[in-house]
């Protein structure tokens, strides 16, 4: 079986560990702000409710609460295609850019009585309008209009049956995985983890969740409406996805066993594990898929194809240590959809653009942007830092992302400091390594960025 023939012993060892205790980014666009791990922003407001205990939704207090968050920042980025080895090379940067960010989210939390709750949140970001094409009055031609850039992030209700089964219905965040930088087990979230902001809450699907506590353990069942139903003129009940999950508490650890089934996606069997010892957390995930959702490029580069059968394995292991102002997080990933040939990335990009332009070569299913990412088999990420280095109030952090399959990676070092309440600044240097055209060397070899964050707050 593809993806398993070279990993039998590794897989068995991984599963044993769990039972016992437990997109690629362009090189210079990646900035890791270590301060985010220690300030108030690491504590998600009530919208990250999937991690809360189910009983928290049924308090004696009634009423309605409003709140939100606001952030704004300005970042200047300079990139060099090669490492600058002279003053003239420094002046002749390959590319510079300026990025402005303004975003906000508002939420309400209404509890009309002890056994019922409605929660919702909406968000917007700069630019505050966006263009879209709609059908004109003649129902033949299309017109371009501008609409407000506002979206509903969550909208659901909580209710219970006899304090035995706890329900949540609506659009909600769902996080199944235990991974920090990678999470193949998190199949329900609509967006992958962003390594630049791994703790940021991610949008979830419209679904109905049922939680049934069994002593200190629990059973959870999801009935999910995939996003594809929005564009389906006549959806069928067979388009729904089901996802049961059992969670077992074993001493200081927790084991999760789950499944996922939807007719248009590869069925999955999922196992997660986490284990804590003092200030050290260990976590892991193992996923078996029947079939792949990726479109592959053949070795001849003249055709693309899908693999709808065969067993694929995805797995990850990681550790996390956080104490006072010191943090260390490391994680490795095995990607069952990766290519054996590390030079495939350049060919994938060329094939993608040819298909977008209507070329007959390569023939077959159309490649998507997602098919151009995570092309290797083995990945690793390590971050470490100190939020108050040498008692200077300066945060120092370093982050390494590596593709072990093509021997490329990026190392970033960030210095940050809060000047006063409401204003913080940071500077980041990124160095990419590996052969030209590999995953982390496509954009450039060296980059510098200076950023300022203004008035970020929660209320």
For residue 263, what are the CA distances in angstroms to 291, 311, 432?
12, 17, 41
Residue range 93-116, pLDDT digits in tens: 778 889 999 999 999 999 998 889
What is the SS3 assignment for 36?
helix
Answering whether pTM is above 0.75, one says yes
The distance of Cα 446 from the centroid of its chain, to the nearest Å, equals 25
What pLDDT sits at residue 238? Answer: 86
336 within some domain: yes
CATH number at residue 201: 2.40.160.10
With respect to residue 131, please indicate whether it lies within any of the assigned structural domains: yes
How many structural domains does the chain have?
1
Q: Tell me the average pLDDT of the chain.
A: 84
**pLDDT at residue 55 tops 50:** no
What domain range is 392 assigned to? 8-458
Residue 52 has pLDDT above 50, yes or no: no
Does the pLDDT value for residue 171 go beyond 80?
Answer: yes
Looking at residue 147, what is its pLDDT? Answer: 87
Q: Is 7 helix (H, G, I), strand (E, B) or coil?
A: coil
For residues 429-433, average pLDDT: 95
| Domain-located, residue 191 | yes
Contact assessment for residue 90 and residue 70, using Cβ atoms and an 8 Å cutoff = no
Look at phi and psi of residue 46 and say left if phi exceeds 0, alpha if psi is from -120 to 50, else beta. Answer: alpha
- Reported as a pLDDT band with limits 50, 70 and 90, residue 231 is low
Q: How many CB atoms lie within 10 A of CB 406?
A: 25
- Inside any domain, residue 3: no
Residue 1, in any domain of the structure: no
Q: Is residue 2 part of a domain?
A: no
Q: Are 153 and 123 in contact (CB under 8 A)?
A: yes
Q: What is the pLDDT of residue 120?
A: 97
> How remote is the C-alpha of 199 from its chain's centroid?
9
Condensed to tens digits (0 to 9), the pLDDT of residues 373-393 reads: 899 999 999 999 999 887 888
Is there a contact between 192 and 207 (Cβ–Cβ < 8 Å)?
A: no
Strand partners, 100: 74
Q: Tokens 């996805």 label which residue?
A: 241
SS3 content of the chain, % helix, strand, coil (to 5): 15, 50, 35
DSSP-derived secondary structure for 285-321: EEEEEES--SEEEPTTSSBEEE--SSEEEEEEEEEEE
Residue 85, Ramachandran bin (φ over 0: left; ψ between -120 and 50: alpha; else beta): alpha
Over residues 338-350, mean pLDDT = 86
Q: Are 134 and 147 in contact (CB under 8 A)?
A: no
Tell me the Cα Rg of the chain.
23
Query: Highest-confidence range of 35-44, 197-206, 230-239, by mean pLDDT?
Result: 197-206
Please report, for residues 8, 104, 208, 230, the alpha-carbon distance to residue 122 in angstroms, rounded to integers and kept in the order given. 46, 9, 20, 19
> What is the distance between the terminal CA atoms of the chain, rounded to a whole angstrom?
52
Residue 136 placed within a domain: yes
List beta partners, residue 97: 77
Q: Which residues are within 8 A (CB) of 178 and not within 5 positions of it... i.e. 6 or more apart?
A: 185, 256, 272, 273, 274, 283, 284, 285
In a domain, 220, yes or no: yes
Looking at 311-422, which runs of residues are DSSP E strands? 311-323, 326-334, 378-386, 394-403, 408-420
The pLDDT of residue 54 is 42
């Amino acid at each position: 079986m593809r993806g398993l023939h070279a990993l039998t012993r590794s897989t068995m060892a991984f599963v044993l560990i769990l039972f016992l205790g437990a997109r690629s980014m362009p090189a210079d666009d990646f900035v890791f702000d270590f301060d985010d791990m220690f300030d108030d922003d690491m504590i998600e407001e009530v919208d990250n409710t999937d991690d809360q205990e189910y009983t928290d939704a049924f308090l004696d207090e009634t009423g309605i609460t409003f709140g939100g968050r606001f952030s704004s920042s300005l970042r200047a980025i300079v990139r060099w295609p090669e490492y600058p080895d002279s003053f003239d090379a420094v002046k002749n940067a390959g590319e510079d850019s300026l990025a402005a960010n303004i975003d906000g989210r508002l939420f309400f939390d209404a509890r009309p009585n002890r056994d019922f709750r409605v929660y919702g949140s909406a968000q917007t970001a700069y630019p505050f309008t966006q263009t879209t094409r709609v059908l004109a009055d003649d129902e033949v031609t299309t017109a371009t209009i501008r609409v407000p850039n506002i979206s509903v992030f969550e909208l659901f209700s909580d209710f219970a049956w006899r304090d035995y089964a706890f329900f949540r219905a609506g659009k909600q965040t769902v996080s199944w995985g235990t991974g920090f930088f990678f999470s193949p087990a998190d199949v329900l979230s609509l967006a992958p983890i962003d390594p630049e902001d791994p703790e940021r809450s991610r949008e979830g699907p419209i679904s109905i969740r049922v939680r049934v506590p069994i002593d200190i353990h629990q059973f959870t069942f999801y009935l999910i409406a995939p996003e594809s139903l929005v564009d389906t003129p006549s959806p069928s009940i067979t388009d729904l996805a089901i996802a049961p999950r059992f969670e077992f508490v074993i001493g200081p650890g927790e084991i999760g066993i789950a499944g996922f089934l939807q007719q248009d996606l590869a069925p999955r069997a999922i196992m997660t594990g986490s284990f804590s010892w003092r200030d050290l957390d260990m976590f892991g995930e193992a996923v078996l898929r029947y079939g792949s959702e990726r479109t592959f490029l053949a070795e001849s580069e003249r055709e693309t194809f899908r693999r709808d059968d065969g067993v694929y394995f995805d797995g990850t292991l990681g550790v996390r240590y956080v104490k006072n102002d010191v943090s260390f997080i490391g994680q490795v990933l095995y990607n069952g959809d990766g290519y054996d040939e590390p030079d495939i990335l350049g060919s994938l990009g060329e094939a993608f653009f040819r298909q977008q332009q209507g070329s007959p070569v390569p023939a077959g299913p159309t490649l998507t942007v997602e098919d151009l990412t995570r092309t290797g088999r083995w990945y690793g990420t390590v971050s470490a830092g100190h939020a108050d280095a040498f008692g200077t109030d300066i945060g120092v952090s370093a982050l390494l992302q590596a593709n072990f399959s093509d021997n490329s990676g990026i190392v970033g070092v960030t210095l940050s400091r809060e000047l006063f309440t409401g204003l913080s600044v940071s500077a980041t240097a990124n160095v990419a390594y590996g052969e030209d055209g590999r995953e982390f060397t496509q954009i450039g070899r060296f980059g510098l960025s200076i950023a300022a964050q203004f008035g970020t707050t929660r209320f």
